[in-house]
Structures are given as C-alpha cells and as structure tokens.
Amino acid sequence: MKIEFRKIPQTSSDFDIVSDSVKFSGIFSKISTKLVELDSKLEGKLQVQCCRCGKDMDIGLSEENKFLLSDGIYKDENEDERIVIEIDEGIVDFDTILQSEINAYQSDFYICGECENDTQELEIEY
C-alpha cells in the first residue's frame, strides 16, 4: 500500500495490511505539510530462528508503535517519543514500514524451548 505524501488528509485515515501472518494496522493523519503521524499496531505470528540450533519457531507479536513520517530530512531536534521515518520521493509505503519492523524482529536473538531446557540442565549440572 502506497500513498503520495501530499495527498494524505489531515483527518485520520485507517490502514490495514497483512504480510504472511503479521497484521499491521492503525490510523494516520497529516499534522503539518512535512509530517504525518502514524499510530500503528503490529499483531500476529512471526517465524524466527533459534540462535542456538537454528530451528524455526513462531513468536507472537502484539506491539503498538507511534511513528512520525517526515517528508524528506527530519530537522526538528526536539526529543520525540515517536519513531521518526524519513520518506523518500514523497511516497509513503506501508509495506516497507511493515517489512522493516519485521526485519528488526527477525534480527533479534531467540532461543527455542528445547535449547532453553538444555541451558537449565547445564546450570543444574555445574
């Protein structure tokens, strides 16, 4: 789902996209000529790999994030609790935002149930 930055209305609009079993939804609105506010929710299941045995496993996602989309370079130096994303070429691409969220999760370290049990056994032995 792509939207031209300049066409985003000041009134809140809904969005709802799905990639595999991850749902990315929420509302967005333009708060200034160069800024769009995006309140999002990430839900569903994501396949990740155990960092010890490499086995695939699913993790449950349930996260709310507030983003600030900036048309071009974000210059405001005020501290902001929102995650700033700089948009290129005046196009907001929700799929790219979702994909970068998924990539961030997948680059984290996970340990599957079996490896977790192994660790506990080792701790008892030594």
Cα–Cα distance for residue pair 22/100, rounded to 1 Å: 13
Residue 115 lies near Zn ion (rule: CB under 5 A):
yes
Cα–Cα distance for residue pair 17/43, rounded to 1 Å: 11
| Paired residues of 48 in beta bridges | 57
Whole-angstrom Cα Rg for the chain: 19
Kindly tell me which of 8 and 46 has the beta carbon lying closer to Zn ion: 46
Kindly tell me which of 52 and 82 has the beta carbon lying closer to Zn ion: 52
Kindly tell me which of 18 and 53 has the beta carbon lying closer to Zn ion: 53
Q: Residue 76 corresponds to which amino acid?
A: D
Q: How far is the CB of 109 from Zn ion (least distance, A)?
A: 11
Q: Which residues bind Zn ion (CB under 5 A)?
A: 50, 52-53, 55, 112, 115
